[in-house]
Amino acid sequence: MRNLFLLLALILPAVPAFAQESAEPSPAQPDRRADESSYAEPERVVVRHLALDLEVDFDAKRLAGTADLTLEWLDPEADTLVLDTRDLDIERIEGRSGDARWRKLKYTLAERDPVHGQKLTVATPARPEHVRIRYRTAPEASGLQWLEPSMTQGGKLPFMFSQSQAIHARSWVPLQDTPSVRFTYEATVRTDPALMALMSADNDPEAERDGEYAFRMPQPIPSYLLAIAAGDLVFEPISARAGVWAEPAMAKKAAAEFADTGKMIEVAESLYGPYRWGRYDILVLPPSFPFGGMENPRLTFATPTVIVGDKSLVSLIAHELAHSWSGNLVTNATWKDIWLNEGFTSYVENRIVEAVYGREQAEMEFVIARNGLIAELDDIAPQRQALAPPPLGEGEDADGALSSIAYDKGAWFLQFLEQRFGRETFDAFLRGWFDAHAFQSVTTDQFRSYLQEHLLEPNPDTVSIEQVDRWLYAQGIPPAAPKIVSERLQRVDAARQDWLEGRKSLSELDTDGWITQEWVHFLAGMPETLAPQQMNELDAAFRFTGTANGEIAQRWYPLAVRSGYFEARPAISQFLKRIGRRKLIMPTYEALVATPDGHRFAEQVFISSRPGYHPITTMSVEALLERSRGDAE
């Protein structure tokens, strides 16, 4: 999953001041496969296959049907099956082996935990091969969003989509909701014949709308990659094995923006081996989607906020495609090792961007990401600055593991290895890692051992295991980290300073040909506040207020709030109502709640915006508003 430009990019020196490292790297955890975010017991019994039969009920905002679990019993003494659920209405559970008839099984549903949901324990003294659970989801399921027709682009038909990462799959399927368990799946989905249903499986580009759809995923995946959607969706091809699903008014525009997807696939294959998932299609969701993208295999879910007309934000597609190797193919076994997904993917993303769009754009994106990481370090607890941090504590949500440490420090570490060993050697090593661990869930300990055996020992006196451990287990960024400089962003810095110091007017700045990354850097480097006249000049020259580019809006509106530029408030209100992507809107909410007047405005906007927000976004805004009320008191 990628939030493009994950953090606010701040201007830092060309050689940043690194956070202080701990004196001694922490030792590896003795068992990093233990998943603190799941009740499941996969060491005793593991789900190998899932068969879903679901009805999509837009009126009730529920999925209803059955989940058939095919089990492999590993512990001959086991007599229970423990599953993860959240707010599911369990109607009946049955079990059977072979061709025997289904027999009712007893079960208990534990008290609801606010983070992890409810532990479902099924009594299975006969250790059946199959368990069938009949259930219904709750209308407020955290992993599903139900949109009224008025909230869609077409305005005539409803829309539903899922977001299972990190631990939201349990809100719409009862299962072992841990990335350490991989399973194949099949599904039958029934919905209004006017709607097209899709899943993270073998979607047929030529499928006709008939109200009943069958899906099959033959490669084993972890639960967070389960995905479903239904809406007024049409297909637009990009290449022989890639295309776009979107609402009719968006499909051709999205296909044009993502036209280089076929090239991206070819680049990734040339570096890291064949794409092993069949087709690679993209589903463009309504703007309420809470993230930039989600790497659901065969069907990336993507925000429409990256479709800006100049391909400057399509590195998000490079990121989600890269997950086809790092994350989907080789998966972190638990969320505390999420850097094995996101750090690797951010590194591979940048390699794809460099090959398709050039080294300059790749450098700009690296600099922006790393500036944001350095700026955020002071706000991250020291133990959470390690790539392989300690286990999640009591009450900690796995969503919190998805930080810039996992993405940007992880990618920085891999670039350090590339720089030291050389691209040719490191590319071969990384391809070998993917091949050796394909369709497996892995830990940092496994990567460390593989790295030592296949890269460090064959190339002695290049990188020591102590240097590796500083990256993996210590806080901050090691002093030996590669320093990336972007000449284009340095010119942006100079232009900004020329204006701020009065040497040039805005009309005299050479901004022709600037792409999103340069505008983002230009705004992010502004002082904390500007004078009213400066804000007026910027807006008159560049028309930031009302911009359709969410990345620019993410930087401009917080600056407008902090600077008291009330002229932007109507546009801020519309932006916060129209967009549900957390990364784009949270900085503006955070700026607003810093003052009593802004807090009142934020509350009013949230009340009107809430019906169109995904539950994940709603929870984030609610938590911010509640926290700021407490701070004010």
- Show contacts of 28-32: CB within 8 Å, 24+ apart: 28/388, 28/444, 28/445, 28/448, 28/472, 28/473, 29/388, 29/390, 29/391, 29/445, 32/333, 32/334, 32/336, 32/337, 32/388, 32/443, 32/444, 32/445
> Residues in the chain, how many?
633
- Asked if residue 163 belongs to a known ligand binding site, the reply is yes
Task: Say whether 164 counts as a known binding-site residue.
Answer: yes
User: Facing residues of 130 across strands?
Assistant: 70, 96
Residue showing tokens 């022989």? 240
- The residues, any chain, with a CB within 8 Å of residue 309's CB and separated by 6 or more, are 257
Please answer whether residues 122 and 46 qualify as being in contact, where contact means their C-beta atoms are separated by less than 8 angstroms. Answer: no
Three-class secondary structure of residue 132 per DSSP:
strand
CA distances, 236 to each of 241, 309, 338, 553 (Å): 12, 17, 33, 29
293 is in an annotated binding site: yes
Tokens 């038909």 map to which residue?
Answer: 157
Strands 242-246 and 234-239: antiparallel
Give the pairing type, strands 212-222 and 196-199.
unpaired
253 annotated ligand-binding residue: no
Mark whether 633 is an active-site residue: no
Integer angstrom CA distances of residue 191 from 135, 159, 200: 17, 11, 17
The answer to the question of whether 537 is labelled as a binding residue is no
The torsion of the CA quartet 562, 515, 374, 348, rounded to 10 degrees, works out to: 140
Q: Are strands 228-231 and 196-199 parallel, antiparallel or unpaired?
A: antiparallel
- Tell whether 364 is in a known binding site: no
ω into residue 166 within 30 of 0, thus cis? yes
Question: Tokens representing 120?
Answer: 């479902």
Of the residues 94, 320, 354, 363, which is catalytic?
Answer: 320
497 is in an annotated binding site: no
Q: Is 295 annotated as a binding residue?
A: yes
The answer to whether 583 is annotated as binding is yes
CA distances from 7 to 252, 371, 524 (A): 30, 9, 10
182 marked as binding residue: no
292 is in an annotated binding site: yes
Selecting among 135, 272, 275, 407, the annotated active-site residue is 407
* 8 Å CB contact between 433 and 330: yes
CB atoms within 10 A of CB 65: 19
49 in a labelled binding site: no
Q: Is 349 known to be catalytic?
A: no
- Tokens 């009340």 belong to 607
Per-residue tokens: 248: 């009719």
Strand residues in 280-346 grouped as ranges (E)? 280-284, 293-294, 299-302, 330-332
Catalytic residue set: 320, 407
List the binding residues.
163-165, 290-295, 319, 323, 342, 581-583
List the binding residues for Zn(2+).
319, 323, 342
List the binding residues for a peptide.
163-165, 290-295, 581-583
